[in-house]
Chains A and B, each alone.
Chain A
Amino acid sequence: MPVEVRLPTVLRQHAAGQSRVKGQGTTVGEVFGDLIRQFPLLAGQVVTDDGTLHRFVNVYRNDDDIRFLDKLNTTVGDDDVITILPAVAGGTAGPPVAPAAAD
């Protein structure tokens, strides 16, 4: 059964513009391998040529960072969701918008 993978904006261009795709596999690494078969332009973007995660990429299984689980060997099942997010500066989270009340 395929596992849902959510792509960050910056990678959607490599997956025909899709934000959610599906990949087959029982581990995160296997699912990524299947995604690259489907979308060859994703190669090297998330997993580098030496088989490790790109340093500016965070990957989560159901919101848990896989670097602190089993990394690419982290197991995944049908109901799990893999989320890929770019690493960004913390402390000021992204382009802030003034709340409506303050206008």
Chain B
Amino acid sequence: MPVASSVLDLIGNTPLVDVSALSPAPGVRILAKLEGQNPGGSIKDRIAKAMVEAAEADGILKPGATLLEPSSGNTGIGLALVCRVKGFRLRIVLPENVSVERRQLLEIFGAEIVSSPAAEGSNGAVRMAQRMVAEASDDVVFLYQYANPNNPRSHETGTGPEIWRDCPEVTDVVAGLGTSGTLMGVGRYLKSRNPAVRVWAVEPPAGELVDGLRSLDDGFVPPVFDPSVLDRKTIVRPRESVEWTRRLTAEVGIFAGISSGAAMAGAARAAEQLGEGVIVVILADGGWKYLSTGAWTDPLDEVVERARRIIYF
């Protein structure tokens, strides 16, 4: 292998692994794309690199600039990694009671953390970040993953073509729905190569966990989301997500995060409905940040109760 000039060159080009042993339908192959193999540990490394490099190329991001982003999860970590290597400052806005592992990882990579009220959740972090950018006097850039076209574009030029290159016989792709970037970019690319490919979105029952909304008008739909790219959208609940996360490790030796368990549950449901086909399922991150949830070690009922209250998508 050629020597990488920096860890950023290791972003993307993730492996596909045949996990058909987990398929409930003998006529349906399931291949898992292991995004936990990215250097920052998740698929978000792709969008972090793409958004930052696009901003540099457009002249929006100049040397010495500070990036601001609301994220308590993988996007924050991906941006922290990219900023560390490229020499930008990063401020992350996150709800005040995220798990200590996430805060530590962000700090290790040199990010400055600004806390937003826990009760306002992620919507609150986004609003705070928007206020901070409006009030900022120094050179502060808000890349805003929910609306930045380089988010889905990184998947249209990276994740999607990799799937097509490695598995041109793909009939269905299954992925978790967060900002929607993965589904939009991968979906658009694969349908441009084969219009018959179906795109299945899996989501957590997030709305049930958020009690802070005063009205439906407080809701939020990511600006990059275009529902016409999807063929199906299904909720996968914490119990099934944790069960499949355990099966991934126990049966095929894949140590992935809880959203990956949810995506596998979605792939299994799709397999049952299809009867035959080739499903590519995207496993967004590794299991490391979820060890403290006891997902693999504690009684399932306890883990499910905890999982209802933590970030795993």
Contacts and interface: CB of A to CB of B under 8 A. Distances in A.
Contacts of A73: none
Contacts, number: 159
Contacts of A11: 216
B72 interface: yes
Interface in A1-53: 8-11, 45
Interface in B98-122: 98-101, 118-122
* Most A-side CB within 10 Å, residue of B72, B213, B216, B220: B216
Given A68-B230, A101-B292, A91 B208 contact: no
A87 B179 CA distance: 12
B209 interface: yes
B178 interface: yes
Contact of B120 (A93, A95, A102): A95
B204 to A, nearest CB: 5
Interface of B: 70-73, 75, 94-95, 97-101, 118-123, 125-126, 145-146, 177-180, 203-222, 227, 230-237, 292-294, 306, 309-313
B163 to A, nearest CB: 21
Interface of A: 8-11, 45, 54-58, 60, 63-65, 67-68, 83, 85-102
Given A93-B204, A94-B122, A95-B121, 18 more contacts: A9-B213, A10-B214, A63-B234, A64-B232, A68-B231, A68-B233, A86-B216, A86-B218, A89-B122, A91-B75, A91-B178, A91-B313, A92-B125, A93-B313, A94-B311, A95-B119, A95-B120, A96-B311
B309 A96 contact: yes
Binding site of A, secondary structure by majority: helix, strand, loop or mixed? loop
A65 B313 CA distance: 18
B216 A102 contact: no
Given A45-B216, A88-B123, A88-B210, A102 B233 contact: no
B285 to A, nearest CB: 12
Contacts of B122: 88-89, 91-94
Given A90-B313, A92-B122, A97-B310, A67 B233 contact: yes
A55 B221 contact: yes
A96 B178 contact: no
Contacts of A54: 216
B70 to A, nearest CB: 8
A23 to B, nearest CB: 19
A56 B100 CA distance: 32
A63 B214 CA distance: 24
Given A56-B219, A86-B213, A65 B207 contact: no
A58 B225 CA distance: 14
Nearest to A11: B216
10 contacts: A10-B215, A63-B235, A63-B236, A92-B94, A92-B125, A94-B311, A95-B119, A95-B209, A98-B97, A101-B292
